[in-house]
């Protein structure tokens, strides 16, 4: 089993990612979930992570609340996309258990240091917690087996013309992470906009229990902004790609590239410059996914999450 920590700002696509990870207990061992401000504020992303674990029958998974603000910039959130509580369309109960008392950053440091064979980190939101952990405890680098990130874009952004949401919210954190010399796999928007939950792909999901029902109603909800915000034909499940990649790596193709993050204020703040063609001659600092088999991915996600309603 691959030991993982999920750093997240749920968010509907984060919720699907967490449910997928929880459903794959034979392959993935979730050491904990850390939350960060992003889609909504951190108090709400923490409640949402707890709600999702409870929905899956796993209220025992430790959830640690993390940073409420990006490192330098004021927080931008995305209620316009994910609703006031971050999980519009899911209609799931409030959590009965609280989050853990310790903050996400010391938890990340201790948990990574204590991992015998190395920890895989799944980064589904702004990279604030992870950057702070790396700055406070640079030694953890040696114990990070891989950091799989959803963020950035090779072409256009979804938050501004230049920037994808997660990197726009905390570009300084993203810059710290990409300069840290870690084994990184990056899922930019070019890849994740291929993972759209179209009606045909939804056909393999079953509403036979609370998990399937919540997923289907979330994926079928009306799309604010419509195709204007990408994902023509349905909701893109950006973050679920990260977990699917750990489970079924052969569904994804990419290449090693040099990636830099724009931190200067202005129209391109948060932009990721991904040297896909290797024009700059700088050494690669990430494996960047370019394409995926979305039909197979959705069919496998549907089959996997179904077990949560059968347990």
Q: How far is the CB of 58 from ligand BDR (least distance, A)?
A: 21
- What's the closest the beta carbon of residue 39 comes to Ca ion, in angstroms? 6
Catalytic residue among 64, 172, 235, 238: 238
Cα–Cα distance measured from residue 297 to residue 194, given in angstroms and rounded to the nearest whole number: 11
Q: Is 238 in the site for ligand BDR (CB under 6 A)?
A: yes
Which of 15, 21, 78, 215 is close enough to bind ligand BDR by CB under 6 A? 78
Identify the residue among 166, 185, 213, 304 touching ligand BDR (CB under 6 A): 166
Q: Is 87 in the site for ligand BDR (CB under 6 A)?
A: no
Q: Which stretch binds Ca ion (CB under 5 A): 19-27, 216-224, 231-239, 254-262?
A: 231-239
Residue 238 designated active-site: yes
Does residue 254 belong to the site contacting Ca ion (CB under 5 A)? no
125 belongs to the binding site for Ca ion (CB under 5 A): yes
Residues 31-70 that bind ligand BDR (CB under 6 A): 39
**Contact call for residues 123 and 131 (beta carbons, < 8 A):** no
Q: Which residue has the tokens 């036979």?
A: 208
**Which residues does 116 contact at the CB level (< 8 Å), separation at least 6?**
none
Decide whether 65 or 124 has the Cβ nearer to Ca ion: 124
Other CB atoms within 10 A of residue 102 CB: 13
* Stretch (H or E) spanning 149: strand 144-150
Question: Is 152 one of the binding residues for Ca ion (CB under 5 A)?
Answer: no
For Ca ion, give the closer residue by CB, 14 or 170: 14
188 binds, among Ca ion, ligand BDR, none (CB under 5 to 8 A by kind): none
Contacts (CB under 5 A) with Ca ion, residues 153-212: none
Distance between CA 155 and CA 163 in Å, rounded? 9
Q: Which of 194, 188, 198 is nearest to 276 (CA)?
A: 188
End-to-end CA distance of the chain: 20
Locate all alpha helices (DSSP H) within 137-227, ordered by sequence.
Answer: 165-169, 171-178, 189-192, 199-202, 210-220
Which residues are tagged catalytic? 238
């Amino acid at each position: 089993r691959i030991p993982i920590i999920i750093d997240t700002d749920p968010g509907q696509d984060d919720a699907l990612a967490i449910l997928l990870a929880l459903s794959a207990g034979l392959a993935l061992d979730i050491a904990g979930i850390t939350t960060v401000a992003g889609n909504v504020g951190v108090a709400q992303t923490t409640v949402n992570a707890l709600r999702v674990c409870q929905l899956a029958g796993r209220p025992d998974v430790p959830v640690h609340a993390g940073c409420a603000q990006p490192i330098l910039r004021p927080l931008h959130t995305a209620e316009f996309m994910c609703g006031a509580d971050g999980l519009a369309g899911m209609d799931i109960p409030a959590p009965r258990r609280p989050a853990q008392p310790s903050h996400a950053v010391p938890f990340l440091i201790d948990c990574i240091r204590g991992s015998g064979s190395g920890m895989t980190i799944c980064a589904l939101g702004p990279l604030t917690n992870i950057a702070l952990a790396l700055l406070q405890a640079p030694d953890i680098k040696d114990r990070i087996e891989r950091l799989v990130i959803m963020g950035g874009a090779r072409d256009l952004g979804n938050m501004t013309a230049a920037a994808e949401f997660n990197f726009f919210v905390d570009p300084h954190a993203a810059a710290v992470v990409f300069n840290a010399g870690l084994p990184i796999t990056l899922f930019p928007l070019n890849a994740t906009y291929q993972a759209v939950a179209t009606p045909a792909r939804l056909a393999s999901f079953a509403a036979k229990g609370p998990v399937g029902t919540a997923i289907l109603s979330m994926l079928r909800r009306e799309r604010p902004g419509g195709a204007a915000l990408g994902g023509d034909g349905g909701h893109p499940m950006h973050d679920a790609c990260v977990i699917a990649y750990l489970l079924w790596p052969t569904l994804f193709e990419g290449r090693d590239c040099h990636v830099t993050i724009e931190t200067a204020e202005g129209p391109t703040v948060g932009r990721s410059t991904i040297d896909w063609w290797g024009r700059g001659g700088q050494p690669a600092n990430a494996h960047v996914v370019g394409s995926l088999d979305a039909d197979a991915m959705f069919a496998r996600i549907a089959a996997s999450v179904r077990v949560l309603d059968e347990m």
